[in-house]
Chain A
Amino acid sequence: MESHEGAAAARDCVLDFSRLSLNTFNADNISGDRKSDTRQLFLNYNRLSSLPSSVSLFYNLEILDISNNGLTDLCEGITRLTKLKTLLAKNNRLDEFSLPKDFGSLQLEVLNFSGNRFEEIPLQCTKLMRLQSLSIGGNRLKSIPAEIEYLTSLEMLYLGGNLISDIPPELAHLPYLTYLVLCDNRIQSVPPQLARLHSLRSLSLHNNLLTYLPREILSLVHLEELSLRGNPLVVRFVKEMIYDPPSLLELAGRTIKSRNIPYCPYDMPYNLVRYLDLASKCPNPKCAGVYFDSCVRQIKFIDFCGKYRLPLMHYLCSPECTSPCSSNPQSDAESEEENSVPADRLQRVLLG
């Protein structure tokens, strides 16, 4: 069925060509005036396999909805829509090769590519400086590029339903991110750097492969929603602490550092001097120890608003490094500062 003069009134600046079983979109019958008046163009739920370049003639367009078609790529003409703020292209056949080279020059604020075939977030998308909301849910994404940090205006990021196994720490550089959806992926761990997302209000992590969370997550003071159901979260105390025994080199290094044994660069080969410089202080504030490569990963359970026990990962310099009053590993009332998480923090833990 060929296109015709749309159903909407001209004063609404809306042209609604949705659900018309269109195989093609021919804008020839639309007057130049009408084209320049149009602010919203709906072409969703049709049978378009390509978007004709004539869409660029609607040069004042702000909202374009081309969802639910059979689009395999976006024409270069779309980059000439300099006023386009919202592009909805859900449920098509787009992938990372479908976007025109200069796609990143658009002034988009809202972009929805959910239900397509992206295996990667294309780099052009990371150049959209004004982007506030990005949805690429239900695709085939294997990872999130570090370049995501360039989207400095981003407030909403929906990446649920993909094949993502890791979260890049660069994600934490997004200063305005309030809603982060990573559910239904293959994520095994959450980088502690995410605790820098001070604006985060909602974090969706359900149906992943998490066994614990980093303790830093408690510093997300504005977090109101956290969904964790469908993760193999550790429930009972892990009796065997995960610990690779330190090498002799490490043990020697620790002794030198913790006992302040004096040495000078001429006392030993240069590589050992450099090694000693790499000592890290134990993260346990109550411990004065150091470690080099080997530390203990221990899961502690934080009693959470009197309701749930969240398994949080702690790093310690050695198995002996624990808080003084807890000698019984079964006790979950540790005398650490996290134990008294105020009930108004992390109010709604969506553990399911």
Chain B
Amino acid sequence: MEQTEVMKPETLDELIAVLHKIFESDCINVEEVQNIMESYESKPHEWMKYAKFDQFRYTRNLVDEGNEKFNLMILCWGEGHGSSIHDHANSHCFMKLLQGQLKETLFDWPDRKSHGNMVQKSQRILQESKVAYINDSIGLHRVENVSHTECAVSLHLYSPPFETCQTFDQRTGHKNTVKMTFWSKYGEKTPFTTVSQENN
């Protein structure tokens, strides 16, 4: 498969520019996007303005709206912060560790037979600079910062962008549609955020 010839993005702005180009086409080469994101070496001073933490839970901070083809955002995870089990609304999801580590636990979609309890399929610790990929056909996942001493910061790309997703109760498989909100956009804290309804 042909890949667009691109240079390794040296800065976050360069990465964003490359992503804009790649996503001009409607056909996404998952490996290509993963490689491009992985090759960007995280420079905290480039993304620090987006990295706004909340004491009580992880935050989503919009970086770029990607010409409506994708959303690029930075998630900030305090010690012990984790997400619910969730799907990705039929979109591609790429996640790159900019700082710290995150644990990703994969689950299958609950089915009528399993009568509750969702059992994890697999688990891994994503190291700094690595990029993980998931979509609904692969399954569902929970992402957590399990460290009690370090924060984590991750860069997420979703294509196409989505505003709602489903969250799942691990004990019962019960699902719930939630609206996702941004803690900040383009480095500015969003005024009066109704805290995300995402049940973690």
Select one of B57, B80, B169, B198 contacting A137, CB under 8 A. B80
A225 in contact with B57 given A160-B80, A181-B80, A351-B169 (CB within 8 Å) = yes
Q: Which residues of B contact A348 (CB under 8 A)?
A: 195-200
Judge if B84 is at the interface, Cβ distance under 8 Å: yes
Judge if B44 is at the interface, Cβ distance under 8 Å: no
| A86–B56 alpha-carbon span in the complex (Å) | 20
Judge if A202 is at the interface, Cβ distance under 8 Å: yes
CB-defined interface of A299-317 with B at 8 Å, one 1/0 digit per residue? 0000000011100000000
A158 with B148: CB separation less than 8 A: yes
Judge if B123 is at the interface, Cβ distance under 8 Å: no
A184 in contact with B170 given A156-B55, A352-B85 (CB within 8 Å) = no
Q: Which residues of A contact B65 (CB under 8 A)?
A: none
Interface residues of B in 120-150 (CB under 8 A from A): 142, 146-149
**A197 CB to nearest chain B CB (Å):** 15
A114 in contact with B79 given A179-B55, A351-B170, A351-B199 (CB within 8 Å) = yes
A350 with B149: CB separation less than 8 A: no
B197 with A158: CB separation less than 8 A: no
**A179 CB to nearest chain B CB (Å):** 6
A115 in contact with B171 given A183-B80, A206-B82, A347-B197 (CB within 8 Å) = no
Nearest B residue to A139 by beta-carbon distance? Answer: B148
CB-defined interface of A307-337 with B at 8 Å, one 1/0 digit per residue? 1110000000000000000000000000000
Judge if A227 is at the interface, Cβ distance under 8 Å: yes
Judge if A235 is at the interface, Cβ distance under 8 Å: yes
Judge if B164 is at the interface, Cβ distance under 8 Å: no
Bin chain B's interface residue count.
20 to 34
**A157 CB to nearest chain B CB (Å):** 12
Interface residues of B in 73-113 (CB under 8 A from A): 79-80, 82, 84-85
Select one of B55, B147, B149, B172 contacting A235, CB under 8 A. B172
B199 with A158: CB separation less than 8 A: no
Judge if B189 is at the interface, Cβ distance under 8 Å: no
A184 in contact with B57 given A137-B79, A235-B116, A352-B142 (CB within 8 Å) = no
Bin chain A's interface residue count.
20 to 34
Interface residues of A in 73-130 (CB under 8 A from B): 90-91, 114-115
Grouping DSSP codes into helix (H, G, I), strand (E, B) and loop, the B interface class, with mixed when no group exceeds half, is loop
Give the interface centre of A137, A138, A179, A229 by most chain B CB atoms within 10 Å.
A229
A233 with B197: CB separation less than 8 A: no
B174 with A114: CB separation less than 8 A: no
Select one of B80, B84, B146, B200 contacting A158, CB under 8 A. B80
Interface residues of A in 159-195 (CB under 8 A from B): 160-161, 179, 181, 183-184
Select one of A91, A201, A233 contacting B56, CB under 8 A. A201
Select one of B142, B149, B169, B196 contacting A307, CB under 8 A. B169
A137 with B172: CB separation less than 8 A: no
**B116 CB to nearest chain A CB (Å):** 7
A308 with B79: CB separation less than 8 A: no
Nearest B residue to A203 by beta-carbon distance? Answer: B56
Nearest B residue to A230 by beta-carbon distance? Answer: B170
Judge if A131 is at the interface, Cβ distance under 8 Å: no
CB-defined interface of A49-71 with B at 8 Å, one 1/0 digit per residue? 00000000000000000000000
Nearest A residue to B196 by beta-carbon distance? Answer: A348
A350 in contact with B169 given A138-B149, A160-B80, A225-B56 (CB within 8 Å) = no
User: Which 8 A-B residue pairings sit nearest by Cβ, starting from the closest?
Assistant: A137-B148, A138-B148, A350-B200, A161-B148, A115-B149, A202-B56, A114-B149, A352-B170
Instruction: List 28 A-B pairs, Cβ < 8 Å.
Output: A91-B149, A114-B79, A114-B149, A158-B79, A158-B80, A179-B55, A179-B56, A181-B79, A181-B80, A202-B56, A206-B82, A229-B82, A229-B170, A233-B171, A235-B116, A235-B172, A308-B172, A308-B199, A347-B195, A347-B197, A348-B199, A348-B200, A349-B199, A351-B171, A351-B199, A352-B142, A352-B170, A352-B200
* Beyond A91-B149, A225-B200, A308-B174, 17 extra complex contacts between A and B, CB < 8 Å: A115-B149, A137-B149, A179-B55, A181-B79, A184-B80, A202-B55, A206-B82, A227-B200, A233-B171, A308-B199, A347-B195, A348-B195, A348-B196, A348-B198, A348-B200, A350-B82, A350-B200
